[in-house]
Structure 1
Amino acid sequence: MSTIEAAYILLFGGSGVVCLAAIPRARTFDNREIRRGIVGMLLATGMWGVFKVAFFVLPDTLREPAYTVGLIFGFATVWAWLYFCSAYTGRGYHRRRGLRWISAAVFFSVVAVKLTNPIHRLYFTTREATVPFTYLAIEHGVFHWAVTGLSYVLASVGLFMIFELYLTSEYDTRPLTVLVALLAIPIIVDVAALTTPQVIEVIYAPLGVAGFSVGALFVFHRRFLAIQNTAREDDPSIYLDEDGYIRDYSPAAAAIFPALERSVGRRLSTVLPAVADITDESESIIEREHAGERRYYLVSTNTVALGDSGVRMVAFSDVTETERQRRALIERERELNEQNERYRAIIAASFGVVARIDPDGRFLYVSPSVEEFLGYPAEELEGESITVVHPDADVTEWAREQIERALSGTTTQVRDFPLETKSGRTVYTDIRGVPIYDQSIPSAERTPQDIVGIQLMIRDATNRRQREGLISVINRVLRHNVRNEMTVISGYAEILEAELDGGTAAKARHISETADRLLELSESAQLLEQNRDLSPDLEAIDVVPIVERAASQLETRYPDAAVTLDAPESVVAATRPRVETGLWELIENAAKHGGDPPAVDIEVAVTDTQIRLAISDDGPGLPETEQRVLETGKEEPLVHGQGLGLWLAYWLITNLEGTVDVTASGGGTTIEVGLPRPS
């Protein structure tokens, strides 16, 4: 064996061994498609190199078959190269089913021609050669050159994809460009072999692939990984080496972080300290001003590995809309918490205890203030039946009736409801119960079946009961005494008026009239006491029958009065039956203080927001002090109205969410009452 022949064997054998030995390294590639392409290329090229060696060392009868098998592996290298280039540069050609079928058809057609070459001899022929050493020379035919031309075209397509990738990267790609250029050097040797007898014609491509593999997978592997990821990535991303130095970045990242310009080779912590501070966290949000608006980016890191080396990629995902929603929810939650605190403060000021019960009457929640009020810690009552704080069965039955009302969808309110403290003492409370609906049901679709509990607001009524009890006793005693004494005075005044004449009789009549006014004042006080504790909840009531009864009663009591009523057949207002007492006070007041004889006009009308009742008389006009009572419900300490009737009317109407307006002149007075319309 000559030295030159040994050199050829060593050269091709070394290239095959290098390619096959690089396969384990290539299999550590994270990207499955790139891994498949480069492993296929190394395997095909390695086997090509092995069969090149077999061509030189096998007996003469086996050299031609070894060369043919080597050609098949060589042609397979082209397709593995294209697959690798498409995957490495981020293109999808290798995934297209049509291209894959065409590629397979071309490959197997060429393989068929190569395998049948001993029959047709159109691919190559052989002869014995002695220069530069004795070997089986290959003389390629027309099919070989056609396939070789196709192979060079396909290899050039792959080279174009690689070089385009490098041009779009701001990485220093010169070392990798040199590696890719190694793939083209064997082509030059192949051309030289056609004209130089000292260079045998055996195709030298395995040598270039071996050089490219060693450089890409072992020497410049970090650049190889970083460039591949950078150029494929449209999203903002920065690529770091293992020491935190910037090795590349995408154009989108530079648009967000202008400081990245010309930053390759510098530490991330120096260029973008805010980003460096959060890269060790699994996920973090960074805020940036970009394109004239504030935007938010999710920062995530991962490592693209090749063996024991890798490139760290810092990716920025635009999550502006999601982050704005998240921050809006946080702000809303903060506002709700503030509102809840305000509501707690209001409830604490308005009610002694707040509780929630289920439809079966068990406490679900009790505010901590219950311990001071009833002596039970809140947690002791939660889960217990409400009967634990009831003094007797009658109270429990009363509570059950109110619960049934609330479960039907009605807000309930009771006064003077007795509760028993832990020590056994009975206290009286005012309780308001509000039904709580399943929040998953839209408001417009809720029915009593959707009620899941009742909110109870409890106020200690003990002091109020004591105060009102004292007032009630005093009121009854004074009213009883006044009525009795005034009846006596009125009776004697009438006797004197009948027995006397002239000025003395007039004085007796004045005493009688004054006594009558005091009796009316006593009756008004009684009406005030009767109406003070009634429910404020409104209901739909037709006010026309109320006004008609008042007009009829007025005609009976004041037969000389001219009463006119102008009202529709039916007008429904949101009020309570006791409004009739207030309206009567106003209508009677018009008759009392009208002309001689009095004329009273009553008009009922419907507006967009209210039911309006106008009561007019033809008297001298309501005095200013009486107007002040009707418009404000107040009296000056030293200036009082003539009685409690107008004050009673004002109190009843306004406590039913109504309004009272007065227009007075020398020609009479008009009082307008506004009542709310049903919702």
Structure 2
Amino acid sequence: MDPLDGPSPKLYPRPDSDDSGDGISNSTPQIALGVTQQRDRELLESLLSTFEVTDLADPVPERTDLCIVGTDALAAFRGALREWKTRERPATAPVLLLTTDSAEDAWRRHEESVGELLDGIQPIPAPRRAIRSRVDGLLATRRHSLMSRQRQRELELYKRAIDSAGVGISIADADRDDLPLVYVNDGFLDMTGYDREEVIGRNCRFLQGEDTDEATVDEIRSALADERPVSVEIRNYRKSGRPFWNALDIMPVRDDDGEVTHFLGFQRDITERKRRERLLEQYGRIFEAVEDPILILDERNRIVETNPAADDAFGTGTSIPEGTQAEHLFEGEQAAQFRATALAVRWTGNSRTVEVTTDPEGDETVFQFRFQRLEATEDYSERIIAVSRDITRIRKYQNRLSVLDRVLRHNIRNKLNVVTGLAELLENSGDEEVAAIAEDIDTAASDLLGIADSARAFNRSIDPAEPRTQELDLSAFVREVGAELRESHSDTDIDISVPEAAPAVCPATIRLCLKHVVENAIEHTTAPDPRVEIEVEDTDEWVDLRVSDHGPGFSERERRALTSGAERPLEHLQGVTLWLVRWAVINAGGRLDIRDRPEGGATVVIRLPPAERPATV
């Protein structure tokens, strides 16, 4: 080969494991030589001295940009070269064959390899400039193929990112009439329910429907006409016809000359957010309109919000300032009681009720507060909701009834004792007719005394000064009371069926309730061998205490009276016992029900709330 100096080599991009993206770096190309003739190799190394030159090997070395091989090396490294080309796809991995054959013979001899394995054939000897030109050309091809591969991979990455984005993305062609869609991602299809072929080529208005706001549509049209960005919330429709709220952002895409070529749209389904907003709006209206005073407290017991009823009740004619310590609305012991209850709810998480008395301008008012804890969210820290109710009139009525009850019970009992005493004297008068009448009087008076005693015992269930509930293991309690009833009613078969344990919240007068219901069942049974069944069932949601008899049952009018909670002239009970039981059970948070038995008789069901069960290990 005739020596001929060529220009300095250009810098070409080549694979480089230390670079990001596609591994492109502007460093000196690497050429792998597979030439066995020593003189040819020396001349090539001299020609290519400004490149990085290495020996061809199997596998082809990493970072190789061009392989130059002789005929012998082509045969020896054919498999390695083929693997290298496969590895580098879609980039070009050029191989240049140096051969002593003439150009015509070389092309004929290697015809099958050209294009598949060989990218060029250079007969030698040849001028240095010719060889260098061929090398530069192949390296330029390599450079452009690497850049193309990089762009292709970037486009694939962008497409994957867009397709997997959590929002809908669409592209409309701004150069065509009616702005048809030319691309939608999978998020758009998932949101709308359409297939891709159903939307490409159409204007996006197919998502509109009868409840789509026309003013919002006009806002979008105006922005598109002015080629400016727009963001709206619009009611659209899925393919199924179901509406959804779409947070739509549209922006124009411009070319290098500043001309708008496309419109890029982003769609987010905000239906759930809009639903929550509507609920919050409704709750806000309710919060403002409710007549019960409501205080919302932060974690330091400061007021963060009040409704108008609370401002009227506690604001002394003005709105309660935000940040006010809630207990400062009250005085002395009442303030301490309010604060202690709020702290207890915050610490335990359990709802609590407390009564607080205020004395504005000497007019004492009683409020019953119900405290509830709200867990912290992303929008706000932990809150305490304090809902109050003015129960002043209720407490006054209860106090008056309690006083009236005590007076009546005392006077009635005294008078009835006089009646029974006089009746006993008449019974001993010696006149049989008078004695019979006196006995009836004595019996009636004794019955009235029994009713008075029952009312006196049940007074605890309505007296505001007395505790109303107690927590009991209802199973153990029924076994205990059942034994007492068996002893006092030995002529009656009392069958008891209870689980091992059934903790329940019971009325303070539960013993009287059970005894009265059982005695009522015994009194009204018509069977020659009286039988009463007492059962307890724990259903997790309720603890049921059932008393069943084999008597005539309850009439429909008695059942309606007891169920409705009020008597009418034609719908009433024959006595007050079941009313007293009902009131006691309801005050404990329970329910009273009456059921017919298929085999005859009735079942009285006392349904009580379950008590907290002890933790088990």
TM-score tier after normalising by the smaller chain length: 0.5 to 0.7
Relative distance call for 1:628 and 1:424 in structure 2 (3 A) is: closer
Corresponding residue of 1:498:
428
Corresponding residue of 1:673:
606
What is the one-letter code of the residue matched to 1:614? Answer: R
Question: How many Å separate the matches in 2 of 1:617 and 1:627?
Answer: 16
Structure 1 position 399 matched with structure 2 position 338: yes
Find 2:364's aligned residue among 411, 426, 435: 426
| Cα offset, 1:646, TM superposition | 1.0
Counterpart mapping for 1:273-288 below 5 A? 276-277=224-225, 279-281=227-229
Corresponding residue of 2:250:
299
Find 1:567's aligned residue among 494, 498, 503: 498
What is the one-letter code of the residue matched to 1:434? Answer: Q
- What's the secondary structure of 1:463's corresponding residue? helix
Relative distance call for 1:651 and 1:280 in structure 2 (3 A) is: same
Corresponding residue of 1:337:
281
| Cα offset, 1:491, TM superposition | 1.9
Question: How many Å separate the matches in 2 of 1:507 and 1:468?
Answer: 39
Question: How many Å separate the matches in 1 of 2:239 and 2:481?
Answer: 75
Question: How many Å separate the matches in 2 of 1:286 and 1:630?
Answer: 55
| Cα offset, 1:360, TM superposition | 5.8
Per-residue displacement from partner, 1:97-133 (whole Å, max 9, x unpaired)? 599623899999757699xxxxxxxxxxxxxxxxxxx
- What's the secondary structure of 2:228's corresponding residue? coil
Counterpart mapping for 1:420-569 below 5 A? 420-421=359-360, 423=361, 425-439=363-377, 452=382, 454-532=384-462, 540-555=471-486, 557-558=488-489, 560-569=491-500
Please identify which structure carries the higher helix content. Answer: 1
Question: How many Å separate the matches in 2 of 1:426 and 1:257?
Answer: 74
Corresponding residue of 2:593:
660
| Cα offset, 1:486, TM superposition | 2.1
Counterpart mapping for 1:86-235 below 5 A? 96-97=24-25, 101-102=29-30, 142-149=127-134
Structure 1 position 635 matched with structure 2 position 567: yes
Structure 1 position 646 matched with structure 2 position 571: no
| Cα offset, 1:390, TM superposition | 3.0
Matched-pair contact (CA < 8 Å) for 1:540–1:572: yes
| Cα offset, 1:329, TM superposition | 1.9
What is the one-letter code of the residue matched to 1:551? Answer: G
| Cα offset, 1:644, TM superposition | 0.9
| Cα offset, 1:150, TM superposition | 5.3
Question: How many Å separate the matches in 2 of 1:629 and 1:290?
Answer: 54
Find 1:383's aligned residue among 323, 333, 342: 323
Question: How many Å separate the matches in 1 of 2:299 and 2:546?
Answer: 46
Relative distance call for 1:641 and 1:506 in structure 2 (3 A) is: farther
| Cα offset, 1:394, TM superposition | 3.4
| Cα offset, 1:542, TM superposition | 0.6
Corresponding residue of 1:258:
201
Corresponding residue of 2:309:
369
Corresponding residue of 1:175:
none
- What's the secondary structure of 1:602's corresponding residue? strand
Question: How many Å separate the matches in 2 of 1:614 and 1:386?
Answer: 46
Which structure 2 residue ranges, 5 or more long, are not aligned? 15-19, 34-42, 52-124, 149-161, 164-168, 185-195, 204-219, 613-617
- What's the secondary structure of 2:357's corresponding residue? strand
| Cα offset, 1:490, TM superposition | 2.1
| Cα offset, 1:670, TM superposition | 3.8
Relative distance call for 1:567 and 1:301 in structure 2 (3 A) is: closer
Structure 1 position 354 matched with structure 2 position 298: no
Corresponding residue of 2:351:
411
Relative distance call for 1:400 and 1:620 in structure 2 (3 A) is: same
Question: How many Å separate the matches in 1 of 2:602 and 2:340?
Answer: 47
What is the one-letter code of the residue matched to 1:299? Answer: I
What TM-score, normalized to structure 2? Answer: 0.60
| Cα offset, 1:592, TM superposition | 3.0
Question: How many Å separate the matches in 2 of 1:406 and 1:360?
Answer: 13
| Cα offset, 1:543, TM superposition | 1.2
| Cα offset, 1:430, TM superposition | 1.8
- What's the secondary structure of 1:499's corresponding residue? coil
Matched-pair contact (CA < 8 Å) for 1:389–1:419: no
What is the one-letter code of the residue matched to 1:329? Answer: R
Corresponding residue of 1:72:
7
Per-residue displacement from partner, 1:371-403 (whole Å, max 9, x unpaired)? 322443565454334454434x33344435534
Question: How many Å separate the matches in 1 of 2:221 and 2:232?
Answer: 14
Question: How many Å separate the matches in 2 of 1:601 and 1:677?
Answer: 25
What is the one-letter code of the residue matched to 1:355? Answer: L
Relative distance call for 1:619 and 1:149 in structure 2 (3 A) is: closer
Question: How many Å separate the matches in 1 of 2:392 and 2:536?
Answer: 44
What is the one-letter code of the residue matched to 1:641? Answer: L
Relative distance call for 1:359 and 1:638 in structure 2 (3 A) is: same
Relative distance call for 1:620 and 1:601 in structure 2 (3 A) is: same
Relative distance call for 1:546 and 1:284 in structure 2 (3 A) is: closer
Relative distance call for 1:670 and 1:331 in structure 2 (3 A) is: closer
Corresponding residue of 1:314:
262
Matched-pair contact (CA < 8 Å) for 1:297–1:316: no
Per-residue displacement from partner, 1:610-646 (whole Å, max 9, x unpaired)? 4443324455545555444554444332453232101
Aligned-residue identity in percent: 20
Corresponding residue of 1:219:
none
What TM-score, normalized to structure 1? Answer: 0.55
Structure 1 position 578 matched with structure 2 position 509: yes
Number of aligned pairs? Answer: 471
What is the one-letter code of the residue matched to 1:144? Answer: R
Counterpart mapping for 1:24-35 below 5 A? none
Question: How many Å separate the matches in 2 of 1:315 and 1:537?
Answer: 71
Which structure 1 residue ranges, 5 or more long, are not aligned? 1-67, 84-91, 115-139, 164-232, 261-271, 442-450
Question: How many Å separate the matches in 1 of 2:21 and 2:486?
Answer: 103
Counterpart mapping for 1:605-644 below 5 A? 605-606=536-537, 608-609=539-540, 610-619=542-551, 621-622=553-554, 625-644=557-576
Per-residue displacement from partner, 1:293-333 (whole Å, max 9, x unpaired)? 9998753335454xxx445453526x45xx02x34323332
Corresponding residue of 1:59:
none
